[in-house]
Chains A and B, each alone.
Chain A
Amino acid sequence: MGNFANKNLTDWHQLVESELKGGSSEDLIWDTPEEISIKPLYTAADLEGLEMSGQMPGFAPFSRGVRATMYANRPWTIRQYAGFATAQESNAFYKRNLAGGQKGLSVAFDLATHRGYDSDHPRVHGDVGKAGVAIDTVEDMKILFDGIPLNNVSVSMTMNGAVLPVLAAFIVAAEEQGCSKELLSGTIQNDILKEFMVRNTYIYPPAPSMRIVADIISYTAVEMPKFNSISISGYHMQEAGANLVQELAFTLANGKEYVSTAVNNGLDVDKFAPRLSFFFCVGMNFFMEVAKLRAARSLWARLMSDFHPKDPRSLMLRTHVQTSGVSITEQDPYNNVIRTAYEAMAAVLGGTQSLHTNALDEAVALPSDFSARIARNTQLILSEETGITKVVDPLGGSYYIESLTASMEQEALKLIKKIDEMGGMTEAVANGMPKLMIEETAARRQARIDRGEEVIVGVNRYKNNDDDMPELLSIDNTAVREAQIQRTETIRKNRNKKEWMSAVDALTRGAENKENLLALSIEAMRQRATVGEVSEALEKVFTRYSATTRSVSGIYGSAYKKDAEFNDIQNKIKSFLNEEGRRPRMLVVKLGQDGHDRGAKIIATAFADIGFDVDIGPLFQTPEEAAREAIENDVHVIGVSSLAAGHNTLVPELINMLQEFNANEILVVCGGVIPPNDYEFLKNAGVAAVFGPGTNIPSAATKVIELIRQRSKAA
């Protein structure tokens, strides 16, 4: 047996210098987007002074996990987020998934429902059933859960804006199915602050929205003991571009804000805090994601201590995780299975309670049966074949992980303090600071990707020229919309007018006073009011919120200082300016209820940095409104950014409107999530170019300039 001498850090540094032929370990430091410097080696020295020693899973502050046994006793819940088209179709999909080994349900609603519009509302006719399931009344909700025993299957619902009518419909549907509300288990997202920051399905202004959150927390605290009243979500922040420290800090700061709101409303913290749940994203930065989840738990426990709970469960951060959709690429789509598997593993090593894994085709469509099966199996294999479940917190004690956990906690706490100084998250959100910080981070990342500094296999490196995309799910929204309208019409006709009217009026009055709005919504939905009617009854008092758009500038361009190719495009724009008498001017629009604004904002800021004059349209425009804005500002081109599948309906309408206004020399280009099969259709409708996921922005800008020139030559 060999006998090896003990070596220390000094020895290692020496060896490093010789391996690097004169360099030092400093050269190997990785500065992450979080501005955390990761060293090439961690040792026991890095753990000195950290409070980790002696910590046990199941005990506060829970960095090693919220339960003593974690997956050794029971694995995480496989909970796949899904919903599309009509309630019937989604119901059938859910049943197939449950049969295939999924454990809990997670409902994705369509954007009309999210924004509190019925399927027959004129502002939503491109959105019905497209990016989730359309729900107008209790009858739809009953169909959605037909044959699914709600006292057994836990249901998570991503609903924030129209949370009152939708949660109410769920409660009434369960009741009419024979399951009383005390028995319902699951989660309602009900996290409105992050809607104003990144998800964009708000309806009312912040103050009344916060009141709705509080009403739901108080109602469920008494009436629905097994139901999580809120899911405080960082997931959407990371998907919108936040780095991991921002995601962590803003999420916990939001959590703090909800707890204060409820406590200020007179609720005992132990009555609701154990029913708060969290939701994070896990992306490709493997170890940092593990550390983030561990840090989230211990930081939350510390923050909650300030509210002096007596029940230790009030200190506990339980979370759901979804792997990162942004890491999913259209190019070389089978790579996505691999990415998702790594992300799933990080989520599990981080100790999540439930998990959604993305499907390989999600950069261009909702999952098909095939891609959903692979996504589910990714978890089943991890859970049942790898043995990863057998040991609690297997990375605990790792020099790197423990040290990184501590750094994440420290950095996040700094940002939380900053928000406290601003007067809390409601203030910070109103002021727009978190949104702007996230957009800045997103712009920086886009520049790194476009410059090839951050590798994405199949997109900016190791490209595969014949990407074979499996067959995609496609939804006929006209059919869905017509079916919805018909069913809802029948319900409107057959309900008891008097009871219905008085329940809806009671809601408006309740909004003026201080009555619990969930209780009143349940009554209204029971009387067969629609999601749209309930939302409108409240809107009369609360008004509908329209956000002020703020945008970053200079961040994208500064990454390109002294870049020859970039200068080249800027010169093209200079000669354009000389020849045309003005810069190329583009209006970036979002049509319909699609609230994905990350791509639109990045395009706007990057094109402006390149030298375009860029108008940014507001969210939720109709084709007619967009056409008018384009005309009044006399832009050369409208760039539609479409992610929620409304393009085939809305873009041809936009082009028609331009023609009607006699403005057909205004070009229309399209970007975003456009399935390959739709390119032809859009081009035939008059779209000059389509720029899908993975688009390199400087090349897109060059192309747009060319198109404008061609158009003005042809004109």
Chain B
Amino acid sequence: METQYSNEDDIYSLDIESLLSGNRRSLARSITLIESSRFDHRDLAENLLSRIMPRTGGAIRIGISGPPGVGKSTFIESFGLYLSNKNLKIAVLTIDPSSKRSGGSILGDKTRMPKLAQLENAFIRSSPAGLTLGGVARRTRETILLCESAGYDVVIVETVGVGQSEYAVADMVDMFVLLVQPGGGDDLQGIKRGVMELADLIIVTKSDGDLKHSAQRTAQDFRSALSFLRNESDDWVPKVIPCSALNSEGIEEAWKIMQLFHSKLNTSGGLARKRGSQASSWMWAEVQETLVGRLRESQSAKKLAQKLESDVINGLVAPGVAARHLLNAFLADD
């Protein structure tokens, strides 16, 4: 019945032309390949990535984070509709690291964007979180590249602000946007100082109806808090705006700020530096992960590791000594 794919492995020998031409199905299949945990798929994925590399880099990459229920999905929907009206293509990648799991996950329910999902200009993909945050980050980074190669102008990575996920996301996008609730400005909602330092833009959501006033006050509170955090020598001074996704107020302003950010950093060379350093730390992260991965799989190292581990537990060998011993043995073997 299927004509396109003739055997199992061929499922992933994707038609790159079709991906580059923006075919929805091909993009979706490529993401599956990127996300696959099978070894041979990794090779195919790397092959794919190498071939699309020249066509990547063209999008504005935006990370959006914030506590559960703050209004991330509603904002992205409203923002996406606005961009689509400007004839821009928008891809939304959602990851939910709150469900670190050993079993299956429920996806898509927290990231509902019903109107955006219908637009020709939009692509929405939710990804199950793996066991490690690093794993999520690697796949999402590569998925951003795929979206760019398929011609998306804006790529948004949405994540619930829990655990360390903000750091991972901030490290793969050009601009990190933090969404916060109106009210409770006094203690700044217990937002970690580190996370606030990451933010290039803070959006106070739900600035409408009864909450409008409180949203404006909260924005003011964040502005003064931020003034203590950043030093003026940076390329960019973070902004704070109130926004109502419900009434589409503040959406245009958010976009203007993002464009300004982009052009400023483009001229200053800051964007290239940022992407460059993200890429190099990504490379090292890959090295680290692959190395550990290989080591854990190596049969000979496994035996030694077990023995060393028990020695370390029993206090017979110092952990540092054991680690070096294990590494040396593994590298010599390899």
Interface of A with B (CB < 8 Å)? 546, 548-551, 553, 557, 570, 573, 577-583, 585, 587, 604-605, 607-618, 625, 628-629, 631-634, 661-665, 712-715
Complex Cα–Cα for A617 and B38 (A): 28
Complex Cα–Cα for A573 and B106 (A): 16
| B residues near A585, Cβ cutoff 8 Å | 128
Q: Is the CB of A665 within 8 A of B2?
A: yes
25 contacts between A and B (CB under 8 A): A548-B110, A549-B112, A551-B109, A553-B106, A570-B103, A580-B36, A582-B32, A582-B37, A583-B128, A610-B103, A610-B104, A613-B105, A613-B128, A614-B105, A614-B106, A615-B107, A615-B126, A629-B117, A632-B24, A634-B31, A665-B5, A712-B8, A712-B11, A713-B8, A715-B2
B156 to chain A, nearest CB (A): 14
Q: Find B106's partner among A583, A616, A628, A714 (CB 8 Å cutoff).
A: A616
Q: Find B2's partner among A553, A578, A664 (CB 8 Å cutoff).
A: A664
Q: Is the CB of A608 within 8 A of B106?
A: yes
Does B41 interact with chain A (Cβ within 8 Å)? yes
**Contacts A580-B38, A625-B118, A712-B8 given: A618-B112 contact, CB under 8 Å?**
yes
A426 to chain B, nearest CB (A): 14
Q: Is the CB of B1 within 8 A of A664?
A: yes
Q: Is the CB of B104 within 8 A of A617?
A: no
Nearest residue (CB) in B for A549 is: B109
| B residues near A553, Cβ cutoff 8 Å | 106
**B 144-171 contacts with A by CB, 8 A:** none
| A residues near B176, Cβ cutoff 8 Å | none
**Contacts A581-B37, A633-B126, A665-B5 given: A609-B104 contact, CB under 8 Å?**
yes
**Contacts A631-B25, A631-B28, A632-B124 given: A616-B108 contact, CB under 8 Å?**
yes
Q: Is the CB of A548 within 8 A of B112?
A: yes
B194 to chain A, nearest CB (A): 29
Does B35 interact with chain A (Cβ within 8 Å)? yes
Known: A573-B104, A631-B28, A633-B126. 8 other contacts (CB 8 A): A581-B35, A583-B104, A613-B104, A615-B108, A714-B1, A714-B2, A715-B7, A715-B11
Complex Cα–Cα for A633 and B112 (A): 13
| B residues near A581, Cβ cutoff 8 Å | 35-38, 41
| A residues near B24, Cβ cutoff 8 Å | 628, 631-632, 661
Does B4 interact with chain A (Cβ within 8 Å)? yes
Complex Cα–Cα for A631 and B29 (A): 8
Q: Is the CB of B37 within 8 A of A577?
A: yes
The 6 lowest CB-CB distance pairs between A and B, nearest first, are A581-B36, A581-B38, A615-B108, A634-B28, A608-B104, A549-B109
| B residues near A573, Cβ cutoff 8 Å | 104
Q: Is the CB of A551 within 8 A of B106?
A: yes
**Contacts A580-B38, A713-B8 given: A633-B107 contact, CB under 8 Å?**
yes
Give a binary string over B72-116; 1 marks a CB under 8 Å from any A CB, 0 the rest: 010000000000000000000000000000011111111010100
Nearest residue (CB) in B for A620 is: B114
Does B125 interact with chain A (Cβ within 8 Å)? yes
Complex Cα–Cα for A570 and B128 (A): 17
Q: Is the CB of A625 within 8 A of B117?
A: yes
Complex Cα–Cα for A715 and B126 (A): 25
Complex Cα–Cα for A549 and B126 (A): 15
Q: Is the CB of B37 within 8 A of A662?
A: no
Nearest residue (CB) in B for A587 is: B108
A16 to chain B, nearest CB (A): 44
| B residues near A605, Cβ cutoff 8 Å | 106
Q: Find A582's partner among B28, B36, B106, B109 (CB 8 Å cutoff).
A: B36
A645 to chain B, nearest CB (A): 24
Q: Is the CB of A632 within 8 A of B123?
A: yes
Nearest residue (CB) in A for B126 is: A633
B147 to chain A, nearest CB (A): 11
Complex Cα–Cα for A715 and B8 (A): 7
Nearest residue (CB) in A for B6 is: A715
Nearest residue (CB) in B for A432 is: B69
| B residues near A663, Cβ cutoff 8 Å | 25
Q: Is the CB of B8 within 8 A of A546?
A: no
**B 27-64 contacts with A by CB, 8 A:** 28-29, 31-32, 35-38, 41
| A residues near B123, Cβ cutoff 8 Å | 632
| B residues near A625, Cβ cutoff 8 Å | 117-118
**B 211-233 contacts with A by CB, 8 A:** none
Complex Cα–Cα for A634 and B104 (A): 16
Complex Cα–Cα for A546 and B115 (A): 10
Q: Is the CB of A617 within 8 A of B108?
A: yes
A712 to chain B, nearest CB (A): 6
A312 to chain B, nearest CB (A): 39
| A residues near B5, Cβ cutoff 8 Å | 665, 715
| B residues near A557, Cβ cutoff 8 Å | 103
| A residues near B103, Cβ cutoff 8 Å | 557, 570, 608-611
Complex Cα–Cα for A586 and B41 (A): 21
Q: Is the CB of A550 within 8 A of B124?
A: no
Nearest residue (CB) in A for B26 is: A662
Complex Cα–Cα for A208 and B29 (A): 43
Nearest residue (CB) in B for A550 is: B109
Interface centre among A604, A607, A628, A634 (most CB of B within 10 A): A634
Nearest residue (CB) in A for B115 is: A546
Complex Cα–Cα for A232 and B43 (A): 61
Nearest residue (CB) in A for B29 is: A634
A690 to chain B, nearest CB (A): 19
| A residues near B110, Cβ cutoff 8 Å | 548
B99 to chain A, nearest CB (A): 8
| A residues near B28, Cβ cutoff 8 Å | 631-634
Q: Is the CB of B31 within 8 A of A616?
A: no
A691 to chain B, nearest CB (A): 18
Q: Find A661's partner among B11, B25, B31, B126 (CB 8 Å cutoff).
A: B25
Complex Cα–Cα for A607 and B105 (A): 9
Complex Cα–Cα for A577 and B105 (A): 14
Complex Cα–Cα for A578 and B39 (A): 10
| A residues near B118, Cβ cutoff 8 Å | 625, 628
Q: Is the CB of A614 within 8 A of B117?
A: no
| B residues near A580, Cβ cutoff 8 Å | 36, 38
| A residues near B106, Cβ cutoff 8 Å | 551, 553, 604-605, 608, 614-616
Complex Cα–Cα for A628 and B5 (A): 20
| A residues near B7, Cβ cutoff 8 Å | 715
Complex Cα–Cα for A662 and B26 (A): 10
| B residues near A546, Cβ cutoff 8 Å | 112, 114
Complex Cα–Cα for A712 and B1 (A): 12
Complex Cα–Cα for A664 and B3 (A): 10
Complex Cα–Cα for A615 and B112 (A): 11
Q: Is the CB of B125 within 8 A of A632?
A: yes
**Contacts A548-B112, A581-B37, A634-B28 given: A612-B104 contact, CB under 8 Å?**
yes
| B residues near A629, Cβ cutoff 8 Å | 108, 117, 124
Nearest residue (CB) in A for B102 is: A611
B256 to chain A, nearest CB (A): 26
Interface centre among A577, A581, A615 (most CB of B within 10 A): A581
Interface centre among B28, B73, B124, B125 (most CB of A within 10 A): B28
| A residues near B2, Cβ cutoff 8 Å | 664-665, 714-715
A708 to chain B, nearest CB (A): 12
A599 to chain B, nearest CB (A): 15
Nearest residue (CB) in A for B35 is: A582
Nearest residue (CB) in B for A543 is: B246
| B residues near A665, Cβ cutoff 8 Å | 2, 5
Q: Is the CB of B109 within 8 A of A616?
A: yes
| A residues near B128, Cβ cutoff 8 Å | 583, 585, 613
| A residues near B124, Cβ cutoff 8 Å | 629, 632
Complex Cα–Cα for A715 and B107 (A): 26
Interface centre among B106, B117, B128 (most CB of A within 10 A): B106
| B residues near A613, Cβ cutoff 8 Å | 104-105, 107, 128
A38 to chain B, nearest CB (A): 35
**B 185-219 contacts with A by CB, 8 A:** none
| A residues near B37, Cβ cutoff 8 Å | 577, 581-582
Complex Cα–Cα for A618 and B108 (A): 9
Q: Find A628's partner among B29, B109, B117 (CB 8 Å cutoff).
A: B117
